[in-house]
Amino acid sequence: MDVLDWGGAAGIEAEEFLVFPGMDELFALLEVNRHARSGEYDVLVVDCAPTAETLRLLSLPEVLSWYFEKVMPTERRLMKAARPILTRLTDLPVPEDEVFVAAQSVFISIESVRELMSRPEVTTARLVVNPEKMVIDEARRTYSYLGLFGYGVDSVIVNRVLPDLVSDPYFDRWRTIQKGHLDVVDDAFAEVPRLRLRLFDDEMVGVERLRVMAGELYGDRDPIYDFKAVSPFRIVEGEAGVTMELDVPFVEKSELDVFRHGHELFVRVGPYRRSFILPDALHRREVTRARLEGGTLQVSFGDPEGGR
């Protein structure tokens, strides 16, 4: 334990930075990226926190990219213009251009991790649910938001399923309730493999017990290579023109918004939003239609020069 008078505020700012909202996720992402780029692994498993936190983590590259591309350049130019005058006028601290250069290098790492995470042949998500109504509802929302951010889901694991060998009548009603929820899971996530894991009679901690768990869960399947995810994002060229498709299952029309602003298309699902930079080929095409069909958002672009 240290008791000391700090020399200046600089130390405090560096400390404070660490507890500022979003910073822990940022450092977590940069760590994931560092490990991924090191090549020293067979598979990287990121055991994610509950939904809200995980989505915050997964949407951070998007949010930060937006800030770094739209807001920071303006701030930087503003400072460049103002710095000589400000330093003569006042003795207040004026951010040096190096601050922006340093921020730029963080941005490059974020772009790198975003690139890595949005390729379904490299990165997939595996959803784990308990057979409880609220948990399953949350998993559905998560699935939609993952789609929005371009993350592919490769399987759904239902954990804590009451095993058949339990005969105690205390659990009869519970078993009936679980059965209903298992059916809901099978319906809702029909397009991806669904695995089940029983409610164990022990705390499944330590490598030995995790091995038992893996055996019951995956059987003969390879936990890594036997599960594939499909990208929820596609550009489809047809006779009628070009269509951008985004799988956002379980989303209602009312929760969905599509906006175009210049060369960007903004899609919002519930509280989350993502911008898609339009490919050059689409720059001069108008959006002719946006519709939601079978859990897929389809945004159609007309011919260039306003024809169709």
Residues within window 215-244 making contact with a copy of itself, judged by CB under 8 A = none
Residue 64 vs 195, nearer CB to a copy of itself: 64
Assess 272 for contact with a copy of itself (CB under 8 A): yes
> Interaction with a copy of itself in 83-142: which residues (CB under 8 A)?
85-86, 89-90, 92-94, 132-133
CB of 106 to a copy of itself, least distance (A): 14
CB 91 within 8 A of CB 59: no
Residue 67 vs 218, nearer CB to a copy of itself: 67
Pairing of strands 124-129, 152-161: parallel
> DSSP readout, 33-51?
HHHHHH---S-------SH
CB of 122 to a copy of itself, least distance (A): 25
Assess 273 for contact with a copy of itself (CB under 8 A): yes
CB 285 within 8 A of CB 241: yes
Strand, coil or helix: 297: strand
Residues 6+ away with beta carbon under 8 Å from 266:
257, 258, 259, 260, 273, 274, 275, 276
Q: Which range binds a copy of itself by CB under 8 A, 57-65, 118-126, 183-191, 236-244?
A: 57-65
Q: Which contacts (CB < 8 Å, 24+ apart) does range 273-278 have?
A: 274/59, 274/62, 274/148, 274/149, 274/150, 275/62, 275/66, 276/244
Q: Which range binds a copy of itself by CB under 8 A, 21-29, 99-107, 116-124, 187-195?
A: 21-29
CB of 196 to a copy of itself, least distance (A): 17
**Of these, 35, 37, 53, 279, which contacts a copy of itself (CB under 8 A)?**
53
CB of 176 to a copy of itself, least distance (A): 10
**Of these, 287, 295, 296, 303, which contacts a copy of itself (CB under 8 A)?**
287
> Interaction with a copy of itself in 189-218: which residues (CB under 8 A)?
201-203, 205
Assess 17 for contact with a copy of itself (CB under 8 A): no
**What is d(CA 71, CA 81) in angstroms, rounded to the nearest whole number?**
16
Assess 3 for contact with a copy of itself (CB under 8 A): yes
How does DSSP classify residue 80?
Answer: H
